[in-house]
Structure formats: structure tokens, C-alpha cells
Amino acid sequence: MTARDLEELSPAEALRLLAGAPIGRIVFTRHALPAIRPVNHLVTGGQIIIRSNPGTVLSTEVAPSGAVVAFEADELDAERRLGWSVIVTGVARLVSDLEEAARYRARLRPWVSGEMDQVVRISPEIVTGFRLRPAPSTTI
């Protein structure tokens, strides 16, 4: 299998890819330990919106305290070893404006049954991403 080079993505390109990804993963700290949850999301006005169950750590601790989280999405083809990954780091906060929250809820359908009443906004501060592409041949 040919090795690949990592090509850095611009923040704009990274956010564009993130917006088109069906799944993302929110990464946060829970009792000083790293935690991660897969979620569906939308990107609007440069911000990432997710929904969260009212009883979860995300809703009760992370978002109310304006904690820093990471958000990751990727589309990596293990067979061909091509694809991309995007990682955003930023502050998570509950969306408190009722109309705004309702608008996002209409666009962001939860996958699982049950309440998903909280809407969380992640404001990106650092946006990084890479794309894997074929490494140039080293033969002469």
C-alpha cells in the first residue's frame, strides 16, 4: 500500500467539509477525563449546532459552563487510505433564545427516540483539518 501525504486544509475548506458530514463527534472533559459522543450536527454562520438530551453531562455541565470542547468529523476510506478529517476546538454554550433554538430543532432531527430538548452551539476558535493524498513517488 502506497503511503499518503497529509495536506493541511484551510479553515474555510475544513468548515465546508464539516458542514457536509452526516456525523460528527463532540469531545469534552468529564470529571477531568476525556469523553466523546457521536452526534448529528449542522453548521450555520460558521458555528456548529447540535442537540442534546437534557439529562446528559453535555446539557447539565459542559454547555452551561461554556466549556471548551472539540468537534471532529472525518471521511476516511481505509481501503484506499484517502479522505479527510476536520477538528474544531471552541466554546460550547446552550442556545437560550427560544426562537433560535426552535429553528435549529426543526433542521436537526435527533436519531434516537426520546427528548432532545437542549440545543448547543459550538463557536469555533481553532479549525484544523487534513486531507490524505498520494505521496509523490520517490523513485528516480
**Nearest Cα to Cα of residue 100 among 120, 123, 70:** 120
Q: Are 40 and 111 in contact (CB under 8 A)?
A: yes
| Longest CA–CA separation in the chain, Å | 64
Other beta carbons within 10 angstroms of residue 3's beta carbon come to 9
Q: Is 7 exposed, middle or buried (0-12, 13-18, 19+ CB in 10 A)?
A: exposed
Q: How far is the CB of 9 from a second copy (least distance, A)?
A: 14
**Nearest Cα to Cα of residue 130 among 30, 43, 37, 11:** 11
Which one among 36, 100, 102, 115 touches a second copy, defined by CB under 8 A? 36
Q: How far is the CB of 97 from a second copy (least distance, A)?
A: 26
End-to-end CA distance of the chain: 19
Binding mask 75-114 for a second copy (x = CB under 8 A): -x-xx-x---x-x-x-------------------xxxxx-
Of 8-16, 26-34, 43-51, 95-103: span binding a second copy (CB under 8 A): 26-34
Which one among 10, 38, 54, 66 touches a second copy, defined by CB under 8 A? 38
Nearer to a second copy, 86 or 119 (CB): 86
Q: How far is the CB of 121 from a second copy (least distance, A)?
A: 17
Residues at the contact surface with a second copy, assessed by CB under 8 A: 1, 3-6, 22-23, 25, 27-29, 32-38, 40, 68-70, 72, 74, 76, 78-79, 81, 85, 87, 89, 109-113, 132, 135
